[in-house]
Every structure is written in C-alpha cells, then in structure tokens.
Amino acid sequence: MVGKISKEEVEYLAKLARVGLTEKEITKYQKDLADILGYVEKLNEVDTDKVEPMAAGIEQRNEMREDKVEKIEGTPAELISEAPKHEDGFIKVKSVLE
Amino acid sequence: MKITDLPIKELEKEDKREILSACLSRIKEVEPKLHAFVTTLTAEDVEGKGFFDSSFQEVAQNDKGGSAEDSPLQGIPVGIKDVICTRNLRTTASAKMLDNFVPPYDATVVKKLKDSGAIVVGKNNCDAWAHGSSTENSDYGVTPNPWDLARVSGGSSGGSAAAVAAGEVPYSIGTDTGGSIRQPASFCGVVGLKPTYGRVSRYGLIAMGSSLDCPGPITKTVEDAAIVLNVIAGEDPKDATTLKDDSGQARMTTDFTKDLNKGIEGLKIGVPKEYFGLGLFDEVGEVFKQSLLTLEKMGAEVIEISLPHTEYALAAYYIIMTAETSSNLGRYDGVKYGFSAKNSKDLIDSYFKTRDEGFGDEAKRRIMLGAYVLSSGYYDAYFMKAAKVRRLIHDDFIKAFEHVDVILTPTAPTPAFKIGEKADPVSMYLADVFTVPVSLAGLPAISVPAGFSTDKLPIGIQIIGGHFEEAKILNVAHQFEKATGNEEWRKYKPKV
C-alpha cells in the first residue's frame, strides 16, 4: 500500500469521479487522502487469508419479483420539472459531441 | 407539564390541533437559536397543502368518535431528517447541490408515517449528505446542542435529535450509517434507535452507504421508539434488503411494545473489554459503570466479553462507506435534478463544474477516497480487505451473542464536543468508534440517556442486540429508563 499520494493520482481520481478541482484542493486532498489511507493501513495486521468478504451485515441473496409497472403519486411532468433544463417534456443537456 | 414536553404516548389524550400549534410555536421560538430544521412549515402550510389534508381528515373523523385503525401517531407532528424524501416538500440533504430539490414521491418511511396520520412539520438539519458527526458540515449552518449552544448536537442526525430534545417535535426520524442516530441522541439526551439493517425500508433515502444506512426513530422515551418502529418497520418490495432474513424467511414484524415490561432478572449483559482502550472520556466511563450497577441491581448479570477485531472497525468502515458513498453520489450530475453549473462548454465539462461547485469539502474527500479504494489496482488491497475484515467483526458479535443476551457500551467516547473543536477528518471519525462496529454487523442498537457530565451534558449508553432483536433491546432500555426515572438528572431541562 502507499504512504503518499502524488498530485497525478489525485488528478486521476478527480477525473474518474468527474470532480473538477482547483490546484489548492489538489494539494489539500493529497494530504487528506494520505492521512486517511495511512490510518486504514492497520487492516494489514489482520490475517484474512481464509475469510470470505461480506457485502452487508446480514447475508444478502438475490430477490426476484415480477417486473410490473406501478403507479406512483408523482407524474412524469413533475419528474421532468426537477431537471435544471427542460423543454417540451424533455431534459435538455449541453452538446455531447462536437 | 407543557404539551411540548410530553412523549407520544401521553399525547393521545391531548387535542390534536393544540399539539400541532404548540409544536409550531415552539419551533418559532427556538429555531433562531437552534436551527434544527432546514425547512419548516407554518400552520397555513399544514392546513393548506394537499399532502396534509388526508391526515387532518382522518383526525377530524377521529374527533367525532374514533376510527377503527386508530394509530398512536395520528395527528402527531414529526420532524424528518432532510436526507429522506418527502413528496412536494423540499429535501436538500443539507447540501447546496439539492437546494431546490422537491421530490415527487415519499420515502417508504414517510409514506408509512403519513398513512398513520403523522403530520410532517419540517425537515431536520444534518451534516451535508449525512457526512459527519456534528452537523457542522451542513451547508445550512450548524445545529448547536440544546443543552449548551457552544457545543455540537452530534451528527449526522443532529437536527433530528436537537429538535426532540428542545420540544420542537415529540419525535423525529433520522438515519444511521455509522452512528448518526445514536451519537446525536446521546449528545442531546434523547432516545435513538438504529434498527437491524433491513428492518426499515431505505426506499426514498438519499443514500450514503447502502449496505449500512438505516432509518430509525429519535424519541423522548423508549416506549415511543417502540411505537414508532411499529409503524415504520416491515417488508418493502421497493427495497429488496427488507425482504428476507439470514435464514431466508420473510422478516416478520412484531409488536415492539409487547416485551417492554418484562423483568430483566437473569439477563446476560456482555461488556466488550476492547471498548475501554478507545479514548473514553472519564465521565462517560463513570456513567457507564453506574448504569451497569443499576442493571445488576435489577437482576441482570454482567459478563466481560471480547470482540477482538474492534480496533479495525473504523478503518474497515471508512473504506466500505466511502466506496459506497462515491458510487451513490455519482448520480448528482446537474442533469436530472438539483444544482447545475452555469457556463459549461459541453456535457462533460458541465459534470466537472457541477460536481466541483455543488459538492462541499467532505463529500469530495469521500468521493475521492471511495474512487481510490475501488480503482483498479487498489480494489483488492482496500475494498476487498475491508469487506473481509467486516465479516470478522460481524462474526465477533455473533459469537458473543452465543453467551450473552445484549451487549452494553457507551454510545460515544465523550459528551458533546465544542463547535469547531475537531478540525481534522480522522479525529471527527473517532467520534463514532463505539457505533461503527454495530453498523458493519447490521445489528440493532439503541442509545438511551444514562446520566450527565459535571457540566450538565447528557451521556448515553448503547444497548446492542442480535439481528432482529429490537424487542429485546427495547425491553432492556425501557427497564433501565424506569429504574433511573427518579434520579436527579432526569429533572434537568435543556437551556434553549
């Protein structure tokens, strides 16, 4: 595991997570992430060779049900109206391709 | 006693409109100081808006002679944490990103409450996205502690706990991911119940850590917590994790009030020895010891137990929770709802700008950390490692419950700390050291007031049960509450 986080790593993570960061923020998160990762490093003391990972505190299994259309209280118009930009019942976004 | 001091149980006899008006006046009186709500409703809102009509019609019907489906929550005001969706009522998660978000639907918990005639009077402040342990991280300002306004109310459900402590609402609904119901309940001197994972539907929660999140009640008394749990618990086809328990059986709900009055003679209480090296504040230890003595006098047997992986819980939690958070916060892209940055040149640029300007510091830190532990090359070393340690922590509890009925710990290592006192992220995370292991294991736990510090700050104890054993921890908590009912500190009142 790593003890230090490089500027490039923070920039790479920010890109993966689609978060724009300022230079100042990058420096700050370099330190914060290194601190927290330093703290969680103690997990390496635990022998987990024969341990199965656990996804939730209670074992989960797939639950199947019929895929039925259900009425909800909200209307499609209400849903669309929550979008920051919309027109004629459609959500508007900036251009995807040049 | 004033109407705003009464628990739900005793409000049954009171006039429903008087209860509402008393709560709304109390909100008006203390909100300028307490700021426990992001959004509050006026009497006109409550009367005028469609989403309250139904409950009032039922109340009116009730006044004329009662209805068959009389619920103890009928006509009783409730505060809902602002990470829980309420139809036609702004829901911000205390985050600027959702400043203008008005959900078109109710969360299942809210729907169940409204179906029982509950009246939502406002949305409680919390740490933004429920990220924090003090409400200092709210984008709408801190909720101070009703017992000392220079201190925090705890978090993330700080507004929910403060509102109940200050008598603004008789009860509220919070959410608990790593201690967010229990720790503020302890700090504010009220009761906070985190149900078993899957006992209460997560549908309609603004998700943080989906394998950890649990909605639950914050109340004045243990009996009230049982009354509210009766209404909000149960299977929900909209949340598959509510459907089955470990053995594949449908999760039966039960009447959680039925065992409250059982005696606790012969009850085996486990006290984990590992919890006492974890920076416990002296006065918290003192209150805890007194509580054990009280329970022993009532006939319970205290047994030292070991939960050997305790010291790894916070580290595992901060990997699992941030991984889930970073994934859950992926949906805030400025397209479908909420904030959208201006002046972006194309779609991808608008994602970056929206998420830079819309998320605060802690959300970004968690998104980045989550992205890191999930990214290729680190997934096994961090996320899988944490998921394996999670099983060991879970197994520690399961083994302990072979020998004891409940486990008792302090709820938090300290009483409420001062606003601004905890500056670095890791020291804030340590505020959850007693509550996080329970969350990882998906167990139910309740925080009940157990005493006060010398400077009159509330201190709570946490009673932990096996999966789906809410009735048992409510029983122990209620008996403890009864046994300490005449103690001097029970007479203390918050200053606000």
End-to-end CA distance of chain B, in Å?
17
Neighbours of B65 (CB within 10 A): 6
Question: pLDDT of B186-232, one tens digit each?
Answer: 999 999 999 999 999 999 999 999 999 999 999 999 999 999 999 99
Question: pLDDT of B40-71, one tens digit each?
Answer: 998 888 876 543 444 444 444 444 344 435 79
CA angle, residues B158, B72, B180, in degrees to nearest 5:
20
Chain A nearest C-alpha distance from B147 (Å): 32
**Does ipTM surpass 0.85 in this model?**
yes
Whole-angstrom distance, CA of residue B352 vs CA of residue A61:
36
Catalytic pick among B180, B201, B439, B447: B180
* B344 flagged as catalytic: no
Instruction: Identify whether B326 is preceded by a cis peptide bond (ω within 30 of 0).
Output: no
| pLDDT at residue B86 in the model | 97
Whole-angstrom distance, CA of residue B393 vs CA of residue B307:
7
What are the residues whose beta carbons fall under 8 Å from the beta carbon of B338, sequence distance 6 or more?
A: A82, A84, B97, B98, B99, B100, B101, B332, B358
Cβ of B352 within 8 Å of Cβ of A20? The answer is yes
- Contact status of B250 with chain A (Cβ, < 8 Å): no
- Contact status of B452 with chain A (Cβ, < 8 Å): no
CB nearest to A93's CB, from B105, B237, B335: B335
Cβ of A36 within 8 Å of Cβ of B196? The answer is no
CB nearest to B104's CB, from A54, A79, A93: A79
CB nearest to B104's CB, from A78, A85, A93: A78
Cβ of B315 within 8 Å of Cβ of A93? The answer is no
* B153 flagged as catalytic: no
Contact, B468 vs B196, CB < 8 A?
Answer: yes
Between B419 and A67, the higher pLDDT residue: B419
CA angle, residues B143, B36, B361, in degrees to nearest 5:
50
Burial class (CB in 10 A: 0-12, 13-18, 19+), B10: middle
* B247 flagged as catalytic: no
What are the residues whose beta carbons fall under 8 Å from the beta carbon of B247, sequence distance 6 or more?
A: none
Contact, B269 vs B398, CB < 8 A?
Answer: no
Tell me, yes or no, whether A21 lies in a domain.
Answer: yes
Tell me, yes or no, whether A85 lies in a domain.
Answer: no
How many beta-carbon pairs below 8 A join chains A and B?
A: 185
Distances A41 to A1, A38, A44, A97, B301 between C-alpha atoms, Å: 7, 5, 6, 43, 38
Domains of chain B: 3-67+75-310+393-491 (3.90.1300.10)
Phi-psi region of B129 (alpha: psi -120 to 50; beta: other; left: phi over 0): left
Task: Give the chain B residue nearest A51 (alpha carbons).
Answer: B388
Question: pLDDT of A11-37, one tens digit each?
Answer: 999 999 999 999 999 999 999 999 999
**For chain A, how many structural domains are there in total?**
1
Contact, B271 vs B289, CB < 8 A?
Answer: no
Tell me, yes or no, whether A53 lies in a domain.
Answer: no
Cβ of A46 within 8 Å of Cβ of B389? The answer is yes
Chain A residues in contact with B336 (beta carbon < 8 A): 82-83, 91
End-to-end CA distance of chain A, in Å?
41
CA angle, residues B123, B127, B130, in degrees to nearest 5:
85
Q: Phi first, then psi: what are they for B400, rounded to 5°?
A: -60, -40
Q: Which ranges constitute the DSSP H helices of B131-266? A: 158-165, 182-188, 222-232
User: B378: which 2 tokens?
Assistant: 């680190």
> pTM for the full model?
0.95
Per DSSP, B383 falls in state I
Tell me, yes or no, whether A40 lies in a domain.
Answer: yes
Question: pLDDT of A46-84, one tens digit each?
Answer: 999 999 999 999 888 787 888 899 888 888 999 999 999
Tell me, yes or no, whether A75 lies in a domain.
Answer: no
Tell me, yes or no, whether A61 lies in a domain.
Answer: no
Question: pLDDT of B260-318, one tens digit each?
Answer: 999 999 999 999 999 887 777 889 999 999 999 999 999 999 999 999 999 999 999 99
Contact, B109 vs B91, CB < 8 A?
Answer: no
Whole-angstrom distance, CA of residue B450 vs CA of residue B484:
8
Cβ of B350 within 8 Å of Cβ of A16? The answer is no
The average pLDDT across B411-416 equals: 95
Sheet harboring B406-410: ordered strands across? Answer: B37-40, B119-124, B77-81, B171-176, B214-219, B191-194, B445-452, B458-464, B406-410, B268-272, B301-305
- Domain residues for the domain of A33 are 7-45
Count the helices and strands in chain A (H runs, E runs): 3, 2
Cβ of B104 within 8 Å of Cβ of A74? The answer is yes
Tell me, yes or no, whether A98 lies in a domain.
Answer: no
